[in-house]
Copies of this chain bind each other. A is one copy, B any other.
């Protein structure tokens, strides 16, 4: 998204062309993503989004139809963007314990790297997932995460280092919970219990804890 926006800007600057629908759409989406993430669906302002865009409010309605549709498209774009960062993690050559530990740490870091996405997911959950539900571009790459874990878990059970009776989904659930919560609830948690866990050193500890919790969960 951000990358595409930058390109669009250059193209416009270089050529002086006026019409460039794809760039305009990408620009709107990027701004919308940021605004919805910051303020939520009802909290975001179409005028504000338009102002931060290189185009006008009229254009937003021209391409996206309504605030809700824009939100949905921004949500889809956010998922797509974050999914890209999930690929390319080769774990099958590692021993099961090490592979799962790496996966936990990677997921932990990946969530930290994408706070805006986390916020959007929180917002979407406030809406009971009704917009993600309407989306057609969902059930694709998420299943890959499960298959990834399945492969590791089965090897671990075969080697006798993981206990039997678990499902990849439940392992993924634990990893997600810790990684997500670490970002989503940072504000309230640190208000109630102090900021220790959210500084540089604290987050290093937290990552190790995420790893240990997951491994402790599956270990035989």
> A: which residues have CB within 8 A of B?
39-43, 119, 121-129, 132-133, 138-139, 142-143, 146, 169-170, 172-174, 176-178, 180-182, 184-194, 196-197, 205-206, 209, 212-219
Contacts and interface: CB of A to CB of B under 8 A. Distances in A.
A125 B188 contact: yes
B142 A193 contact: yes
B138 A192 contact: yes
A30 to B, nearest CB: 20
B129 A188 contact: yes
A215 to B, nearest CB: 7
Given A132-B187, A170-B197, A216-B216, 7 more contacts: A41-B43, A119-B126, A121-B185, A122-B184, A129-B191, A169-B193, A170-B209
Nearest to A140: B192
Contact of A121 (B133, B188, B219): B188
